Amino acid sequence: MTEQQFQQLIESSVRSQYRFRGHWEEFDSDESMTVNHQKIHSVLSELESRLNDNFPFFHPRYAGQMLKPPHPVAVAAYLMAMQINPNNHALDGGPATAHMEMEVVQQFASMFGYQEHLGHLTSSGTIANLEALWVARSIHPAKAIACSPDAHYTHRRMCEVLQVPSIVVDVTDIKALEAEFRKGTIGTLVVTIGTTGTGSVEPLNQILPLANRYGVRIHADCAYGGFFMLLAGVEQPIIQPKPFLSLKDCDSIVIDPHKHGLQPYGCGCILFRDPGVGTVYKHDSPYTYFTSNKLHLGEISLECSRAGAAAAALWATLQCIPLSSTDGFGGILTKTREAALLWDTDISQLHGWKRYVKPDLDIVTYFNVPNTFSASSVSHQSQQVFDLAMNNGAHPLFLATMNVDSSTILQQYPDFIADTPRTKIIRSVLMKPEHKFTAHKFIQELDRIAHSA
């Protein structure tokens, strides 16, 4: 999209606001609201200069954390709705955007294969997960919540908030998992489909039958990986489809549209397979509802106020970029996945570089091996490459580092000297489709940088 086209979208969002206001009689805005126009300009100009203190999240050269700007459609739609400022807590707070929320949540539920569902948007993945665990606690009040060591760190924190005991289990060791289930202490297991660190997909298809046998509830945290569902149902999938195809049988699912869904921050989503969990939310709020007898979004949500604009932005985005395997989001995710495959192949073939884990989605983890293949020298080299890449003149590359257990490297590379318990490696999130066309060039740049370190 050209700058001019984007400006037209923004202008039409602003104009729509004046048309909306034009439906009601005019009034003079109170003088207490007036700000000197010069003052606004100078403050915004200071804001612009302060915002330069950011990394170029929009650029393919940014391949660090899970960050990228929203799509222009989402920006224009958010702006259009935000000027009205509907609150999706209740139908009275924003009927239009509440209906949009129900539509997009239905689209996610269908994408995952839920026949029926109860769900809504949230302000983040953390809050969506909290809600899933809160419902889980109500269903298994005396039992623990388990997750793998690679689960998002907030799960254990939220268990503290909920005062539920949390257990860390290795979900990839099915035998050990069964032994844990047999003890009868675990009520709910969190399975992560796309871990935040390495993008690894946990073996949900193997875990589910076991969980069913022992009456354990399964919550799938797909905050990052959820959109890859679109690549699972195709004829020749470029991801492992089985864990994704099992999502339809999980008790609850979280997906974060503000991660891979091209949305501004403030957009997570929780889905429950059994609408009957609605009874857990029972509350009595005397002042928020009066226009409808239907279940309000606020009645099935932990949070109260939420931006209706977030629902509008997501709704408009999904109209333009559909949840389809072949085009729309499927097309984007195919390219980010291919970028990771290219990156991983290049790393495997290049002398002096090694992969940490095989990428399941579009996050790659790897390291450069200096003269000594030890934890301490790999850590030092990772930091060097990270710093030099970021400060590489006109061609900076923004990566991320990650600390992993040295023992996991030793398992794959027997000649590794685990002289420190943890090793710093390099991590790249290739969540922009443009990464497919820049992966090869970037690896070559990184190799030159590593040689100069």
Site of interaction with ligand PLP (CB under 6 A): 124-126, 129, 152, 154, 192, 196, 221, 223-224, 256, 268
Q: Which is nearer to ligand PLP, 126 or 374 (CB)?
A: 126
Task: Give the residue at shortest CB distance from ligand PLP.
Answer: 125
- The nearest distance, CB 331 to ligand PLP, in angstroms, is 22
- The nearest distance, CB 444 to ligand PLP, in angstroms, is 30
- The nearest distance, CB 407 to ligand PLP, in angstroms, is 23
Q: Which is nearer to ligand PLP, 87 or 126 (CB)?
A: 126
Alpha helices in 52-141 (DSSP H): 72-82, 95-112, 125-139
For the beta sheet containing 186-192, the strands, ordered from the edge strand earlier in sequence to the opposite edge, are 118-122, 268-272, 252-255, 217-222, 186-192, 144-147, 166-168
- The nearest distance, CB 192 to ligand PLP, in angstroms, is 5
Report the C-alpha gap between 252 and 250 in whole angstroms: 6
Task: Decide: 254 and 129 in contact? Cβ < 8 Å.
Answer: yes
Q: Which is nearer to ligand PLP, 256 or 344 (CB)?
A: 256
- The nearest distance, CB 223 to ligand PLP, in angstroms, is 4
Write down the residue that tokens 């969506």 correspond to.
Answer: 128
List CB contacts of 205: < 8 A, sequence separation 6 or more: 242, 243, 245, 246
Report the C-alpha gap between 329 and 227 in whole angstroms: 8
Q: Which is nearer to ligand PLP, 88 or 126 (CB)?
A: 126
Write down the residue that tokens 């030793």 correspond to.
Answer: 410
- The nearest distance, CB 147 to ligand PLP, in angstroms, is 10
The percent of the chain in helix, strand and coil, each rounded to the nearest 5, is 50, 15, 35
Alpha carbon distances (Å) from 33 to 20, 29, 39, 42, 342: 20, 7, 13, 18, 55
Task: Decide: 193 and 111 in contact? Cβ < 8 Å.
Answer: no
Q: Which is nearer to ligand PLP, 190 or 369 (CB)?
A: 190
Q: Which is nearer to ligand PLP, 187 or 257 (CB)?
A: 257
